[in-house]
A and B are shown apart, each in its own frame.
Chain A
Amino acid sequence: MFAAILLDCIQSIHGERSISGIHNLIQGKKSSQTLQDARLYKLERYFGIYPSLSKLNAHKAAESLERRNFIRFNQENHPVLADEGEKYLEDSFMKDVNFFSGMEHHRNIILFEKRLRLLIQTVTHSELKDFSFLPIVEDPSVQAWMKRLYRNNVISDLLTSLYEELNSLLSALSHLEAELFTRRLTGGGLIGETREQLAHDYHLSVEDVDLLIKHALFYMYRTTLSRQENYPALALCLEGMANEKLITSSARQTLQWLNRGLSLEDIVKKRRLKLSTIQDHVVEAALIDPSFDIGSFISKEGQKDILTTLETLNTNKLKKLFEALDHNYNYFEIRLVVASSKHTFKEDRHAPSSTS
């Protein structure tokens, strides 16, 4: 699965970003650059799905893709999809069934997972009248949530509901995902298995184990979210989760100053940041907020110019655009137009299919 995700990213980025850039995206680096990349290349779904992915492992994986002739590296040492890789990607189930929606949900998924694991352990051990088990999730806020939930427990037969809901959701996933997911669970006196153990038993890489389980969690989370009445037990784990828009808090501050009528230069002074950083914030805002007006930063003609070139060249590479426009516009202006142009396309996330 890791290979398919990397190939998918590489295909969309067509040689314009390095492996590090892709790593930042999958790992969920909260920088303007990475957030912009995710939007520009329509890779929002993979943003932040694997927070613990190390740079080293991302590079190792890329090397192995190269060895299998799935990708090659261009002059700038950026990965490009090769024919073999394209074939592999087409055949992988990621092309049909892809429940990742990282940009929107990656943070909630982390909390959802912790709650679900602790809920399962607690419910099953209570059934066994074993109240002295060691909680598998150590996060104190999740433990507090669990206690609260138990104190005013609303669902009568939580054990059975939880079982049935999980059973039905897991049946809709691939056999492998269901296997990995259940083997990693702790409860009913059974201790879950580590990623290494699962990797060994199923002849997978640790990254594949992590991502397959993560994918299962995305599916469960989104299905529960969209049909809470059908999954009352799992829906308990959604309690109080916000639907936050992704924007760095630093960018938010810059926006607040902008809204109060300060110029970029004023903000630079006020916040003692570099101009380029403040510009990053503006581009970030343009990317995320469709109503953000870039008119005060670049004229209508300028926007049109850049847009035309953008469409003819069909690239997101700033340098190429910059040169094609005869250096008439600076990078900031080009980035702004590129960013806001993304809103003219429809978002193409698919909701989970209702197969359960």
Chain B
Amino acid sequence: MLRPRLHEQLNNHFGFSEFREGQKEIIEDVLQGQDVLGILPTGVGKSLCYQLPSLLTHGTTLVVSPLISLMVDQVKQLKAKGYKSVIALNSFMDYRERTAALNQLNNYRLIYVSPEMLQNPKIEKVLHTLDVSLFVIDEAHCISQWGHEFRTDYLKMDQVIEKVGNPPVLALSATAAPDVQKDIKKQLGRTNMIDHIYPMDKPNISFAVEFHEHQDDKKARIRHMLAAQRLPTMIYFSSRQSAELVAEELNIALDQRVAFYHGGMEQMDRLLVQQQFMKDQLDVICCTSAFGMGVDKPNIRRVIHYHFPTQVESYIQEIGRAGRDGKPCASIVLYTPHDQLLPKMLMERELPEEAAIERLFAWLTNHSALLPDEEMHEQLQLSESQWNFLKYQLEETQVIFQNTIMFDVELWSKAKMQIRTNLRKRWNYKNEKFHQMRDWLYFTGCRRLKLYEPFQEGVRDAEVDCCDHCGFIIDDAQLMEEEAAGVITHNSWDVRLKRIFLQESINE
């Protein structure tokens, strides 16, 4: 009896006539109270796998999401569609807003929250009182990808699940290799989750990697590609400055609308750029990884990487923005030998070096309790994420307990060894990931096969030219010309004002 009713609900609440691959299976199990690990490709509709159940269960659905912007976006979109009882708890809320939200939290069916927020004592207290009927971890690969370093609160999720009364757990991701899948289950304390794992390759995307000598060559190449075909395009950078710089250069060189997007922008400008892009009033967006996860524009035709990311998982996430309408699209990575240094630098900023362990214990010997995080960064010369890693290790090895330093010679020497081992493991892991990414860039066989190899067996047939090895030539690609509908011509202010206020017909 479940099936016809589910379809009806899908239609009633979301206006979709059919489930997409995997959705119904996951939702049915979730509604039966099972713990589920769902791996579906980017853009298929993982959100629906908890949004629909949240409407059909008696209690609250709690969704843990890694990025504030992602949460806020999802909430806005749901609200715009008429789903009112949804909220995102985030650190940007001021005291008053947060208190107001917390006081009436049980009025919401769907609550988005960051892993860090879950550790906030005030929020924790309120969550206890909720009747949680489903606990969701969206982008669950973050547990493995980030949890072990700077977002160690991801590793405390099992405790949170217990505290809210052991509801069924749903973990979702588009990029989780078998070892990551195992890690997710382990960290959540749910080793018996039911797998719903679907092939995550994108049959509508073509791959190409181009090798260049200099940064300038990459820029010239981008200018050439953009000028040849005007298409909704994203260009990824690993630094804010280069995103801004190239956006400006392209703006000058081309007769197209180009803008940059990164985490350091003013809030309204960020919104404007995002919406311009959504509404096709922008052709090209030069961005950092701050733009991406969750961005759901149907007709992005090209994703260009000016810098390549530190791991294959991030890369798959980022190209997952392209071709969400199912039509042909392409990924182009531009590479110069020099680019290898950037990811290395990023990694070094994230993980501490071994010498930091000695420094740390020397410091601990002279103190009785930890200082506030900012002061610890200062005193030990560590970045935020480096310190997070070490702090979590100290907690795990019981060298500190509730910020107090527990002195015990034997315990300490064991702890030091343990931390050193863990740190080495993490470095190895990160280096492996990095090499996996770089190896893919240098790979001379079929890129599609190679890219998804760590995740699944084989790939589906490509619906487009597969990759540069299999004969794909980006300059010949037929990526469909977009209609110039969204392009705005600039009239003087009085004409624009009339357009905004829909006064054209009246006054002409």
Contact = CB atoms under 8 A, between A and B. Distances in A.
A, B assembled together: yes
A204 to B, nearest CB: 14
B501 A159 contact: yes
Interface string A143-167: 0000000000000000110110011
Nearest to B501: A163
B266 A195 contact: yes
Contacts of B502: 124, 127-128, 159, 188
Contact of B493 (A137, A181, A188): A181
Nearest to B251: A200
B15 to A, nearest CB: 12
Interface stretch (B40-48, B76-84, B145-153, B210-218): B76-84
A191 B275 contact: yes
A167 B268 contact: no
B497 interface: yes
A80 to B, nearest CB: 33
Contact of A190 (B77, B266, B488): B488
Given A132-B80, A134-B275, A179-B492, A194 B500 contact: no
B124 interface: no
A188 B501 contact: yes
B225 interface: no
B494 A167 contact: yes
B248 A200 contact: yes
Contact of A52 (B251, B266, B275): B266
A95 B331 CA distance: 54
Contacts of A170: 493-494, 497
Contacts of A201: 490
Interface in B490-508: 490, 492-494, 496-503
A194 B259 CA distance: 9
B218 to A, nearest CB: 22
A131 B81 CA distance: 9
A179 B493 contact: yes
A166 to B, nearest CB: 6
B259 A197 contact: yes
A185 interface: yes
A191 B281 contact: yes
B107 interface: no
B241 to A, nearest CB: 14
A231 to B, nearest CB: 15
A196 B270 CA distance: 11
Given A167-B497, A182-B497, A183-B493, A134 B266 contact: no
Nearest to A163: B501
A191 B279 contact: yes
A193 interface: yes
A306 to B, nearest CB: 44
Contacts of B260: 196
Nearest to A132: B80
A136 interface: yes
A136 B490 CA distance: 21
A179 B72 CA distance: 31
B296 to A, nearest CB: 12
A120 interface: yes
Interface string B257-281: 1011000011111011101100101
A352 to B, nearest CB: 20
A240 interface: no
Nearest to B271: A136
B378 interface: no
A196 B502 CA distance: 27
B97 interface: yes
A132 B275 CA distance: 13
A111 interface: no
B77 A134 contact: yes
A191 B496 contact: no
- Per DSSP, chain B at the interface is helix
A186 interface: yes
Contacts of B267: 138
Contacts of B82: 132
Interface residues of B, number: 37
B3 to A, nearest CB: 29
A191 B500 CA distance: 9
A128 B504 CA distance: 14
Interface in A252-284: none
B501 A187 contact: yes
Nearest to A183: B496
A179 B490 CA distance: 10
Interface string B470-505: 000000000000000000101011101111111100
A191 B272 contact: yes
Given A133-B80, A163-B503, A182 B493 contact: yes
Contacts of B498: 163
Contact of A182 (B248, B276, B500): B500
B280 to A, nearest CB: 10
Contacts of B77: 134
A325 interface: no
B41 to A, nearest CB: 26
A232 interface: no
B272 A193 contact: yes
A191 B276 contact: yes
A192 to B, nearest CB: 5
A211 interface: no
Nearest to B492: A179
Interface in A103-135: 120, 124, 127-128, 131-135
Interface in B262-321: 265-269, 271-273, 275-276, 279, 281
Contacts of B500: 120, 124, 182, 185, 187-188, 190
A175 B266 CA distance: 26
B80 A134 contact: yes
B81 A192 contact: no
A188 B490 CA distance: 15
A178 interface: yes
Contacts of A185: 496-497, 500
B167 to A, nearest CB: 29
Contact of A194 (B72, B273, B492, B494): B273
Contacts of A192: 272
A166 B497 contact: yes
Given A170-B497, A190-B488, A134 B269 contact: no
B181 to A, nearest CB: 34
Interface of A: 52, 120, 124, 127-128, 131-138, 140, 159-160, 162-163, 166-167, 170, 175, 178-179, 181-183, 185-197, 200-201
The 7 tightest CB contacts between A and B, nearest first, are: A132-B80, A163-B501, A188-B500, A194-B269, A182-B493, A178-B493, A187-B500
Given A134-B275, A182-B500, A185-B500, 20 more contacts: A120-B500, A132-B81, A132-B82, A136-B272, A138-B267, A160-B503, A166-B501, A175-B493, A178-B494, A179-B492, A182-B493, A185-B496, A187-B500, A188-B499, A191-B275, A191-B281, A192-B272, A195-B266, A196-B259, A196-B260
Interface of B: 72, 76-77, 80-82, 97, 248, 251, 257, 259-260, 265-269, 271-273, 275-276, 279, 281, 488, 490, 492-494, 496-503
8 contacts: A124-B501, A124-B502, A136-B271, A138-B271, A162-B501, A163-B498, A170-B494, A182-B496
